[in-house]
Amino acid sequence: MTNIPINTDRLWASLMDMAKIGATEKGGNCRLTLTDLDKEGRDLFVQWCKDAGCNVTIDAVGNIFARRPGQDPLKAPVMMGSHLDTQPTGGRFDGVLGVLAGLEAIRTLNDHAVKTEAPIEVVCWTNEEGSRYAPAMMGSGVFTGVFELDEIRAKTDLDGLAFGDELERIGYAGQQKPGAHEVGSYFELHIEQGPILEAEERTIGVVTAAQGQRWYEITVIGQESHAGPTPMPIRRDALVTASKIVQEINRIGHHYPPHACATVGQMLVNPNSRNVIPGSVFLTVDFRHPADETLSMMDQALKAFCTRLADQSKTQIDVVDFWYFPPTHFEDRCIEAVREGARVAGFEHMDIVSGAGHDAVYIAGVAPTGMIFVPCENGISHNEIENASPEDCAAGCQVLLHATLAHAVALD
């Protein structure tokens, strides 16, 4: 029963229909969280779920739950899901594959009139990307009690628009209290967003864990002054100091091979005028590593460097710890269900650790959780050229169905 074939064409058609919403010139997607385009994608998903006979509920942080009833309504649902929001220059598969593969699994169960003991749900988590509003994984973070709802609702974007107001504006501030929603187990299908599966010629990644992350916000304060008459020796140039910090962050990333990652993704220079010596610079830091102790050593190295540099450079350097979650291991039973699903379906598979953060990392804190990866072309993601094949998407969906059914106990 756990190997009834999903409908490859229908899954691909849904992915391509969703990709039309927020389509960009280079073939990617831009559906920033809580924008009109995010609403359009959510509305389409909700309609598809209702067409598939699901009962749809929404919680107060905008997470969408579509439930296919089971024979025992009191049993906690087996949940599949991911996110529909994208990066500004995002792709057509990051997050979307996990949500629409969950929908395809439900459509397939309907086609074959499969009854399950436990209900089955597909969920779309709010703001997994953390681009417009930081940090990432907000919807699943509120759902699991990592973030406070009011704190998240008060967050503002670069235009000063509050999360809570935008959520209400698009009509997705639901009634359900976040977290007051049982989860029996959770499976998330996602593109790998790295090069390993493709290089190893494997179709399925059996995700055993996700690496830990530390995010910082650094503000460098120097002194604005005229680019002409201000002699070099007396300048307090915030951008020169910030550039040294960027170099050090990159050095720290290279210092713990092969897994450490270190990125400065955002930098705001003030006043950002070509003939004014920058008075202040804001920059973000993203550190990652599968071992918590190494992540701590990277943390210490960054802070020690900034302390030394502040003395030498006559500038003030504020380093704020913005976000942290430790490396997360998934549940053995779920990992085995994924591995067995790949084996039954005859797909080449390998164990893999996730370099990216996912909602599954937070859900793993409240329910048995597993993840499935499929390759993406050249391992490229968070880029408009992100690409995956219909065959790999279908393979991931097939394994997702298997793992979900194994936990929902298919009756007939």
Would you tell me which residues interact with Mn ion (CB under 5 A)?
A: 94-95
Binding residue count for ligand HGY, defined by CB under 6 A: 6
Do 394 and 213 touch, CB atoms closer than 8 A?
Answer: no
Candidate ranges 125-133, 160-168, 335-343, 365-373; the one touching ligand HGY (CB under 6 A): 125-133
Which of residues 220 and 364 has its CB atom nearest to ligand HGY in the complex? 364
CB of 108 to ligand HGY, least distance (A): 28
128 interacts with ligand HGY by CB under 6 A: yes
Which of residues 41 and 70 has its CB atom nearest to ligand HGY in the complex? 41
Q: Find which of ligand HGY, Mn ion, none residue 130 binds, CB within 5 to 8 Å per kind.
A: ligand HGY
317: tokens are 């350097």
Q: Find which of Mn ion, ligand HGY, none residue 95 binds, CB within 5 to 8 Å per kind.
A: Mn ion
x/- contact string, 193-212, with ligand HGY (CB under 6 A)?
A: --------------------
C-alpha to C-alpha distances, 270 to 227, 283, 284, nearest whole angstrom: 14, 11, 15
391: tokens are 């065959």
146: tokens are 């990592």
First to last CA, the chain: 8
**Beta bridge pairs of residue 329:** 209
Which of residues 77 and 130 has its CB atom nearest to ligand HGY in the complex? 130
**Beta bridge pairs of residue 225:** 277
x/- contact string, 133-172, with ligand HGY (CB under 6 A)?
A: ---x------------------------------------
136: left (phi over 0), alpha (psi -120 to 50) or beta: beta
Amino acid letter, 307? T
- 200, 193, 120: which is closest to 402 by C-alpha? 120
299 interacts with ligand HGY by CB under 6 A: no
x/- contact string, 349-368, with ligand HGY (CB under 6 A)?
A: -------xx-----------
223: tokens are 């002194």
Q: Find which of ligand HGY, Mn ion, none residue 341 binds, CB within 5 to 8 Å per kind.
A: none
**Nearest residue to ligand HGY, by Cβ distance, number only:** 356
Q: In 279-300, which positions are buried (b, 16+ CB within 10 angstroms) versus exposed (e)?
A: bbbbbbbbbbbbeeebbebbbe
d(CA 90, CA 187): 23
Please identify which residue in 59, 121, 129, 384 interacts with ligand HGY, judged by CB under 6 A.
Answer: 129
Binding site residues, ligand HGY, CB under 6 A: 128-130, 136, 356-357
